[in-house]
Chain A
């Protein structure tokens, strides 16, 4: 920095570098200063008008502000506008959903697409916890995306499941509760062979005899296939209600499904209860139909 100042009269600050590079002390332009001051005045009004000053009472609240504006209120207002818009835009479709039966909705391409598209959130909220986000099922909870239905895969049957809920019911150790361990082991082998299509092999004759004697056939059908869907699993197909693991099969035969003693579930029994959604769903009249269409379209509807 030079020690002397060759430009004493130009109003520089005396800071000079590289012999001629110097710092001047010019005021900012008038318009700039005016907007600067206007900014200060604006801050005063702003802090009066909007919530601005944090309160020290530990609540994390702010002064209310004269406008009594809050962000969440603005969000609610905006959301209400969106909701009204949606309501108006899809009013005719919603009306149709309410008026038509599930079968009629499925026949109408447009309406079916609409029902499926508007079901995703509902399914996520009410169904996915047990049945998985895409109906892929969870351990002990049935897959909805396949074509194997315990209670029937026709729209009306799915709707009935939603309205009334479902409770599985399989007695422990056969209908009489009288199978011994050897018999249980034989019948387990037979059941596994059934799903592999080898049920008629001589090797499984013992199991087959137990199957008939133990009255498994009363629900699962004479050939391992239920005569009508009433909660009993089809034993001849490739889909397992619980697991294809032999130990698990034996466990299910031994302890049954939803078997209670003195009002308490017995140890090892499978708990398989689907609640009724008639009361649980908001706007259940329409939403049950909507979800029925959705589940029907997941991959295996009949």
Chain B
């Protein structure tokens, strides 16, 4: 605590609180032991772009998202290869048709990716945020476009502060137009996974879009423009829940971009020393601030890992380029774990309990997905037992049960579903008809099963209803049902 801080409050009449003794304005919170990380608060972060290994890596990973734009135009068997057909309640993924009955597979897919996120974060930090997240990627592309129009960060800041003029508009308007265009390309491609893409195009030019399509494309397009163009790092810092969740998934063995304090401190610029003067002992960090200048979220990695860091590795590129110039070994900022700095050997990945648990759940869900897809029958059978009456006494002494059979055709070919029943020898049955079912439809028929009352040993008799597709006899579904009779006399 400095002397003038004290003097500022000397004439307080009632010195009852420790706060009276110090200046409590926010700037000096450090004085009472609160460590404040310098969070970028000076408007838009204009990060410098420099080439490097991680920069290249980011572009490669980002190019995955080109698939989003191409995907809707792929065809398969005359229909769109990937189509989430909500009105008809079916998902087409290449040759596969997924109906609501199979939605548990979606749960497994979500589980798989949730655990993939957890496992990868436990191993190497926010890989998702830094390289793959669509917000990171779109922001990266948007700022790249901005640089093409407006130049380096210092020029951009100057332009931002300059008063509105024709010159400024000439630069700004095309940039925003291109941003909007990307926004709409994004939202259009998204919507094109839910309705036929070519149809969507042709109806766009005929002005025949429905309200749902129009509003979805508009809202998503403007949101893309607004989030990636205007809000940028504020989304990661202020909105995104995954940013915080992932931060909680780190442990001391997680490798993340880290500043080597031991090697770097005390930081400072090398000064020429006058004769007789002793050069100060300096670390390798020359305090050039390039690592801060390139950071897309505006954090200073030298304070250590922090919530604003999306672990994109760009500061590593920056620092390495400087180290190269001053002829010092690279890696002052590098992917490293806290354990490493504590002098501990990192255990092998498969010996870390968290990674093992995460991966076994992943393996389980992956196995379930594969099993689900392998055994997914194109036919789904439901047998609804008539409740009123549960059974009927027939004139010849038989007991009759009635089922309403519902057969769903989940495949792509028409079905002719034939129903047969297996059970005790005395069992007889008749079916209303062979059901013809178009793909994606449900067919229903009535099934009557009769058994002589005298042969019934119990109220319940198990029977098996078998449904076979006559068009493709390989498709067979069995349904275990219960024949109900009166209490035996």
- Spell out A's residues near B (CB within 8 Å): 2-4, 6-7, 19-20, 109, 113, 132-137, 143, 145-148, 234, 237-239, 297, 299-300
* In the complex, chain B residues whose CB is within 8 Å of the CB of A2: 16-17
Using known A-B contacts A238-B394, A297-B446, determine if residue A133 contacts B19 with beta carbons closer than 8 Å: no
Report how far A145 CA is from B446 CA in the complex, Å. 13
Q: Is B18 an interface residue (CB 8 A)?
A: yes
**New A-B contacts (16) at CB < 8 Å, excluding given A4-B14, A20-B19:** A2-B16, A3-B14, A6-B12, A6-B17, A19-B18, A19-B19, A109-B433, A134-B389, A135-B389, A136-B388, A143-B389, A145-B400, A148-B394, A148-B395, A239-B394, A297-B432
State which of A4, A109, A146, A147 has its C-beta within 8 Å of the C-beta of B16. A4
Q: Is the CB of A299 within 8 A of B448?
A: yes
Q: How far is the CB of B401 from chain A (nearest CB, A)?
A: 9
* In the complex, chain B residues whose CB is within 8 Å of the CB of A19: 17-19
Per CB-CB distance, the 3 closest pairs between chain A and chain B, nearest first, are: A136-B389, A237-B395, A134-B388
Q: Is the CB of B392 within 8 A of A145?
A: yes
* In the complex, chain A residues whose CB is within 8 Å of the CB of B13: 4
Q: How far is the CB of B5 from chain A (nearest CB, A)?
A: 13
Report how far A132 CA is from B448 CA in the complex, Å. 19
Q: Is the CB of B389 within 8 A of A145?
A: yes
Q: Is the CB of A133 within 8 A of B394?
A: no
* In the complex, chain A residues whose CB is within 8 Å of the CB of B400: 145-146, 299-300
* In the complex, chain A residues whose CB is within 8 Å of the CB of B20: 6
Q: Is the CB of B24 within 8 A of A20?
A: yes
Q: Is B186 an interface residue (CB 8 A)?
A: no
Report how far A100 CA is from B142 CA in the complex, Å. 68
Report how far A136 CA is from B386 CA in the complex, Å. 10
Q: How far is the CB of B210 from chain A (nearest CB, A)?
A: 18
Please list 26 pairs of residues, one from A and one from B, whose beta carbons are closer than 8 Å in the complex, sorted by A's number.
Answer: A2-B16, A3-B14, A3-B16, A4-B14, A6-B17, A6-B19, A6-B20, A7-B24, A132-B388, A132-B389, A134-B388, A143-B393, A145-B392, A145-B402, A146-B392, A146-B394, A148-B395, A238-B393, A238-B397, A239-B393, A239-B394, A297-B446, A299-B400, A299-B448, A300-B394, A300-B400
Q: Is B158 an interface residue (CB 8 A)?
A: no
Interface of A is mostly: loop
* In the complex, chain B residues whose CB is within 8 Å of the CB of A133: 388
Q: Is the CB of A143 within 8 A of B392?
A: yes
Report how far A239 CA is from B392 CA in the complex, Å. 10
Q: How far is the CB of A115 from chain B (nearest CB, A)?
A: 13
* In the complex, chain B residues whose CB is within 8 Å of the CB of A132: 388-389
Q: Is B444 an interface residue (CB 8 A)?
A: yes
* In the complex, chain A residues whose CB is within 8 Å of the CB of B453: 238
Q: How far is the CB of A140 from chain B (nearest CB, A)?
A: 16
Q: How far is the CB of A235 from chain B (nearest CB, A)?
A: 11
Report how far A145 CA is from B401 CA in the complex, Å. 10
Q: Is the CB of B393 within 8 A of A146?
A: yes
Measured CB to CB, the nearest residue on chain A to B13 is A4
Report how far A295 CA is from B433 CA in the complex, Å. 18
Report how far A4 CA is from B13 CA in the complex, Å. 10
Q: Is B271 an interface residue (CB 8 A)?
A: no
* In the complex, chain B residues whose CB is within 8 Å of the CB of A148: 394-395
Measured CB to CB, the nearest residue on chain B to A237 is B395
Q: Is the CB of B392 within 8 A of A299?
A: yes
Q: How far is the CB of B79 from chain A (nearest CB, A)?
A: 25
Q: How far is the CB of A296 from chain B (nearest CB, A)?
A: 11
Q: How far is the CB of A225 from chain B (nearest CB, A)?
A: 10
Q: How far is the CB of B282 from chain A (nearest CB, A)?
A: 39
Report how far A133 CA is from B386 CA in the complex, Å. 11
* In the complex, chain B residues whose CB is within 8 Å of the CB of A146: 392-395, 400
Measured CB to CB, the nearest residue on chain A to B443 is A113
Q: Is the CB of B397 within 8 A of A299?
A: no
